[in-house]
C-alpha cells in the first residue's frame, strides 16, 4: 500500500487527504501535509520559474529574462 497523499483545496483553503473535494478544486498531490499547506506558494514559485525559462517562454532568452 502506498503512502497517503495530501492536497490543498482552493475552495476551502484547507489541506485534505485523498478523500476530499473534487480534483478541479485541489492542488497536489503532495507527500506531506506541510507541503500541501504551501501549495499556493509552491505554485507561484513554479510559475515564476517557468515564466523566466527560455525553453518554455518564446519571449525569454538565456541572457534576457522576461519582465515581471
Per-residue H/E/C for 28-43: EEECCHHHHHCHHHHH
For residue 19, what are the CA distances in angstroms to 16, 23, 29, 53? 7, 10, 12, 35
Residues 5-41: tens digit of each pLDDT: 999 999 999 999 999 999 999 999 999 999 999 999 9
pLDDT at 30: 97
Query: Which pTM was predicted?
Result: 0.72
Amino acid at each position: 500500500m502506498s503512502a497517503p497523499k495530501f492536497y490543498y483545496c482552493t475552495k476551502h483553503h484547507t489541506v485534505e487527504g485523498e478523500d476530499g473535494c473534487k480534483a478541479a478544486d485541489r492542488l497536489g498531490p503532495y507527500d506531506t501535509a506541510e507541503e500541501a499547506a504551501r501549495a499556493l506558494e509552491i505554485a507561484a514559485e513554479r510559475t515564476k520559474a517557468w515564466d523566466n525559462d527560455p525553453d518554455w517562454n518564446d519571449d525569454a532568452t538565456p541572457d534576457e529574462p522576461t519582465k515581471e
